[in-house]
Structure 1
């Protein structure tokens, strides 16, 4: 399938929720593309399996990760960075499938960020108990492009704060198919995910898959 299929989806406006200036939650936006997305993610994971990366401080992350696109986000003792090569296979990351790229571009446009063309997609797998501490996405070269985050599988509590780590974050329950987009004045907002509650999603089982699209280079 190609990105052309996205253009044939009926023009049904998603439920929109402003969560901060420059940040929008699009409820169910990815739902119509579920089958193709999950199939394409499976193909990517076959080429570049999930792994638990290690932070510069030596902490193993509870979230398992992989990437697709011309750049992939990695962390190890040397620091946080983007790399065009998978450090485990020493091969380029899998290409970003048209379905993923088209979804990210359409969600960004819906949120007011037209022309978004991501070159990196970080794919996170959360299993029960996994979490993501508050952080900023600031390893990209240009902060002019937004971040697009797609939730699939088990529901999660998304934490969205301000520009200071000390700012109290707001809590949003993200369901299968929800998409969060933030940029502009919210581009460097601190955000994270609370420990994932156990459950059994009808399609993905006991896990949550999160796609985070970025313009890295």
Structure 2
């Protein structure tokens, strides 16, 4: 999506594919493994989306492939899911475009596959199911955090109450001691006066 700091996000699909192929031809080293390039880049083949082109492609292919990625040729690059790009398995291409598909590729079709519309409905149902499970897990974690925080708050309050009781108890002992010290002082004063009277 960038070539030497030149972005092509706002370019249409046709230009992006042309730009990629031309730049890779200018620098063939990107297709070779080296110390500077540990992984070689292999551009995928792309073809015009015409029925006769696709028929020829499927007839001439000698190897199985996983599927075809269809782009809207005037679409700009879009992050995330987009209705302007769709991935189709070979058996889906035959169903939707009416193209004859080799038997070896039709064997990839799952036993539970009936039609493309039913398949997309299954995908939608699975996504909704996973989203619901995710929301339930989030709600459960949130509720558990709330309970833990409430429990922690009660423990903190209990500790504060224990500390307050200890302070009150200590203060009570200190007050009692002060009273006792006061009584001792008074006794000493009386004794001094008494001794003074005796001296006199």
TM class by shorter chain equals under 0.3
- Whichever structure has more strand as a proportion of its residues is 1
- Structure with higher Rg: it is 2
- Whichever structure has more helix as a proportion of its residues is 2
Higher relative contact order (CA 8 A, sep 6+): 1
